[in-house]
C-alpha cells in the first residue's frame, strides 16, 4: 500500500506545480509582453513485476507486467505567441509584431532581451528601461557622423542610444532649388511699339522709294521752292519731345527719313519697300512715340501730310511675366525672401530675374537667360553657348562668402494651360529636436521644430533559433541560455525578425479562458490524487487492524 501512497503524493506534487504555473500566468495577465507558460506531465519509472517472453512454436508471447511509481512535470514551456498591441500614444513606447526582442545592456557584460518596449530617457539623454536603467542597444552606424560637419547624435564605438530631445539642430544653407509646374505657352513675348503711315507714300506711277523727291509724291499739292521748310515734331518712346525742320525744295524721302532719325532717339524710322514709313522703338515695352509732319507757314509749296499720318500699329509690351516668391537660407540658417520675375522672351524661351530684399543683401548674379522649351512643351535647357546659366548668386549681409544657388527647371512644362509653379529647396532654418518616431525596421527618426526629420539610430532587434529556451530573469527580461542559441542581432523585418511599431505596447498573451480551464483540470487532478492517498491510508489502517 505504501507504493500507492507515494504515487498519489507525486500526483499531488505535480498538480500543485501545475497550479503554480497557472496562478503565475493569471497574476501576469496584465504584465506588458508577458508570455504564458504551460505544463506537461510525464510518468515516472516503472517497477517490473513480471518479465515478458517471446513466442515459440507451441506458445504465444507473454507481455511484461509493470507498475508505475507516479507522475512528474515533464516540461514547463513558454508560449511566444503574439500578444495584442495596444496604443499608448507615448513616443518612446515600442512593440514588436512578430518574432524578436529588444536588446539592452545588463549589469554584466552580457546583453539581456525583452519584448516590453516601454522606454524612457535618462539624465544623459540615453534611451533606457525605466525600472532598471538598462541601456537600450543600437545596431549599425545610423546616427553617427558620415563626414566632418554632419550632425552626430550617436557616439562611434558606443552601442547605447542617445535621444537628445531639446538639442539644437543647426540650419543648412540653400544650395539647390527645384522648380516644377507650368509656364503658359500662350503667354505673349515682349513687343516693340511700331508706328506706320496710314497709307504708303506713292508717286503717280506707284510706290515711292528713297530717291523720290517730295515734289513727286502723289499727295504733293504744289511744288516746293527756295526757302520752303517741312516742320518735324514728335515724341520719343520715353515721352520726351523733339522738333526740327527740313529744306523741302530738293528733299527726297531718304532725306526726310534721315532727318527724322537725327532728331528722334530710342526709335528708328524706315521706308519700307511698299512705300510705307514705319517708326520702331529700340526697346520693347510701353512707348510714347509720335510724329507730325507739316508745311511751315509761308511755304510756296504744299503736301497733304495730314492725310497720311503715322498711327500705332503694334503696341509696345514688356511681355507676359509671372512672379514667384521663395524662402532661402544662408549658411547660418537665417531666412531670406527672394523673388523671381519670370518673363516670356520668345515663342519658346523665357528669362528669370532674381531679386533679394535690400535688408538681406545684394544680387551678384541675378539672371537666368535662355530658359528654353521644346516644341512639345518639355524642358530643353537654361543658358546656351555660354550665355547665362542656371545659377543665381547672392551676397548676404555680414557674410564674407557669397552663396550660389543652383536652379533646376527640369520639372517645368510649357503647355497651353494656366500658370502654376512650386518650388522645393534643400536649405532649412535652425531648430531643436522635439519628438521621435520609429519605422517598421526599428529606425529611430528625430523630428525638429524646423520640420526636418533626422536619422537618430537603429534599434538592435535580436532573434534566437530556440527562443523558448531563453532564461527568464524577471522584470520582463530574458537572457541567452545554452539551448537557446546565440542571439542574431539585426534590424526589424530582417532575418526572420518582426516589425517594430511605435506608440504601442504588446499585451500579455495569457488566455483567461484557457487558464481557468487549467485551474479546473489542476483542481480535479489534485482532488483525485488526494483521494488515492486517502484510500491507500484507509487500506493501511485496515491492514493494521487485522491483528486486533
Pairwise CA distance, residues 445 & 443, whole Å: 6
Backbone angles phi, psi at 300, to 5 degrees: -80, -30
In the chain, what percentage of residues exceed pLDDT 70? 98
Q: What pLDDT does 383 receive? A: 63
- Below-70 pLDDT ranges, the chain: 1, 147-150, 383-388, 548
Place of cell 503658359: 184
Q: What pLDDT does 161 receive? A: 95
pTM above 0.85, yes or no: no
Alpha-carbon distances of 168 from 103, 164, 295, 431, 447, rounded to whole Å: 29, 9, 82, 6, 12
Alpha-carbon distances of 434 from 95, 152, 352, 451, 482, rounded to whole Å: 21, 16, 39, 10, 43
Give the containing element (helix H, strand E) for 538: helix 512-544
Give the containing element (helix H, strand E) for 23: helix 2-27
Q: What pLDDT does 385 receive? A: 45
Distance from the first to the final alpha carbon of the chain: 19
Q: What is the pLDDT of residues 489-538, one digit of tens each?
A: 999 999 999 999 999 999 999 999 999 999 999 999 999 988 888 888 77
Give the containing element (helix H, strand E) for 335: strand 335-344
Dihedral (CA of 127, 132, 133, 138) sign: negative
Give the containing element (helix H, strand E) for 528: helix 512-544
CB-based burial label for 14 (10 Å; 0-12, 13-18, 19+): buried
Q: Which own/partner pairs from 77-82 qualify as long-range (CB within 8 Å, at least 24 positions apart)?
A: 77/37, 77/38, 77/40, 77/468, 78/35, 78/36, 78/37, 78/468, 78/470, 78/472, 79/35, 79/36, 79/37, 79/38, 79/509, 80/35, 80/467, 80/468, 81/35, 81/509, 82/506, 82/509
Give the list of residues 6+ apart from residue 315 with CB closer than 8 angstroms, or none.
191, 193
Q: What pLDDT does 93 receive? A: 96
Give the containing element (helix H, strand E) for 233: strand 229-235
The domain 176-188+320-425 is placed in CATH, from the list 3.40.50.2300, 3.30.2350.10, 3.40.50.10890, 2.60.98.20, at 2.60.98.20
Q: What pLDDT does 532 receive? A: 85
Domain with CATH 2.60.98.20 in the chain: 176-188+320-425
Strand partners, 455: 445
Q: What pLDDT does 149 receive? A: 58
Pairwise CA distance, residues 413 & 21, whole Å: 71
Q: What pLDDT does 519 receive? A: 93
Neighbours of 128 (CB within 10 A): 22
Q: What is the pLDDT of residues 176-223, one digit of tens each?
A: 999 999 999 999 999 999 999 999 999 999 999 999 999 999 999 999
Residues 96/494, Cβ–Cβ less than 8 Å: no
Amino acid at each position: 500500500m505504501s507504493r500507492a501512497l507515494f504515487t498519489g503524493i507525486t500526483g499531488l506534487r505535480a498538480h500543485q506545480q501545475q497550479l503554480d504555473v497557472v496562478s503565475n500566468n493569471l497574476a501576469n495577465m496584465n504584465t506588458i509582453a508577458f508570455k504564458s507558460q504551460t505544463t506537461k506531465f510525464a510518468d515516472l519509472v516503472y517497477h517490473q513485476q513480471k518479465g515478458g517472453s517471446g513466442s515459440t512454436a507451441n506458445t504465444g508471447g507473454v507481455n511484461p507486467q509493470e507498475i508505475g511509481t507516479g507522475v512528474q512535470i515533464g516540461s514547463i514551456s513558454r508560449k511566444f505567441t503574439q500578444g495584442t498591441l495596444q496604443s499608448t500614444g507615448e513616443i518612446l513606447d515600442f512593440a514588436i509584431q512578430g518574432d524578436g526582442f529588444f536588446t539592452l545592456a545588463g549589469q554584466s557584460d552580457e546583453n539581456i532581451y525583452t519584448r516590453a518596449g516601454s522606454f524612457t530617457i535618462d539624465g544623459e539623454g540615453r534611451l533606457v528601461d525605466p525600472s532598471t536603467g538598462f541601456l537600450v542597444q543600437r545596431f549599425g552606424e545610423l546616427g553617427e557622423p558620415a563626414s566632418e560637419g554632419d550632425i552626430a547624435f550617436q557616439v562611434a564605438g558606443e552601442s547605447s542610444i542617445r535621444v537628445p530631445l531639446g538639442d539644437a539642430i543647426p540650419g543648412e544653407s540653400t544650395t539647390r532649388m527645384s522648380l516644377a509646374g507650368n509656364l503658359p505657352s500662350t503667354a505673349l513675348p515682349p513687343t516693340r511699339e511700331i508706328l506706320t503711315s496710314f497709307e504708303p507714300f506713292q508717286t503717280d506711277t506707284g510706290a515711292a522709294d528713297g530717291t523720290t523727291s517730295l515734289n513727286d509724291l502723289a499727295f504733293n499739292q504744289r511744288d516746293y521752292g527756295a526757302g520752303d521748310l517741312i516742320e518735324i515734331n514728335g515724341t520719343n518712346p520715353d515721352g520726351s519731345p523733339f522738333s526740327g525742320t527740313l529744306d523741302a525744295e530738293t528733299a527726297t524721302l531718304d532725306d526726310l527719313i534721315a532727318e527724322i532719325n537725327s532728331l528722334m532717339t530710342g526709335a528708328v524710322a524706315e521706308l519700307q519697300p511698299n512705300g510705307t514709313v514705319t517708326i520702331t522703338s529700340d526697346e520693347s515695352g510701353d512707348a510714347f512715340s509720335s510724329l507730325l509732319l507739316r508745311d511751315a507757314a509761308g511755304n510756296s509749296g504744299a503736301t497733304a501730310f495730314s492725310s497720311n499720318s503715322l498711327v500705332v500699329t503694334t503696341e509696345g509690351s514688356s511681355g507676359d511675366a509671372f512672379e514667384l516668391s521663395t524662402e532661402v537660407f544662408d549658411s547660418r540658417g537665417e531666412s531670406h525672401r527672394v523673388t523671381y520675375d519670370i518673363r516670356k522672351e520668345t515663342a519658346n524661351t523665357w528669362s528669370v530675374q532674381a531679386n533679394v530684399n535690400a535688408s538681406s543683401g545684394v544680387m551678384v548674379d541675378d539672371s537666368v537667360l535662355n530658359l528654353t522649351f521644346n516644341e512639345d512643351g518639355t524642358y530643353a535647357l537654361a543658358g546656351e553657348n555660354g550665355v547665362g546659366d542656371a545659377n543665381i548668386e547672392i551676397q548676404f549681409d555680414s557674410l564674407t562668402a557669397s552663396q550660389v544657388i543652383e536652379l533646376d527647371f527640369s520639372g517645368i512644362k510649357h503647355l497651353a494651360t494656366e500658370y502654376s509653379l512650386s518650388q522645393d529647396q534643400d536649405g532649412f532654418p535652425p531648430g531643436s529636436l522635439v519628438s521621435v518616431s520609429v519605422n517598421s525596421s526599428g529606425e529611430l527618426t528625430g523630428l525638429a521644430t524646423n520640420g526636418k526629420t533626422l536619422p537618430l539610430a537603429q534599434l538592435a532587434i535580436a532573434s534566437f533559433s530556440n527562443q523558448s529556451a531563453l532564461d527568464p530573469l524577471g522584470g520582463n527580461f530574458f537572457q541567452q541560455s545554452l539551448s537557446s542559441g546565440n542571439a542574431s542581432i539585426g534590424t526589424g523585418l530582417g532575418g526572420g525578425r518582426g516589425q517594430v511599431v511605435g506608440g504601442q505596447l504588446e499585451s500579455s498573451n495569457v488566455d483567461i479562458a484557457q487558464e481557468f480551464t487549467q485551474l479546473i483540470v489542476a483542481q480535479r487532478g489534485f482532488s483525485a490524487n488526494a483521494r488515492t492517498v486517502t484510500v491507500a491510508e484507509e487500506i493501511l489502517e485496515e491492514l493494521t487492524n487485522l491483528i486486533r
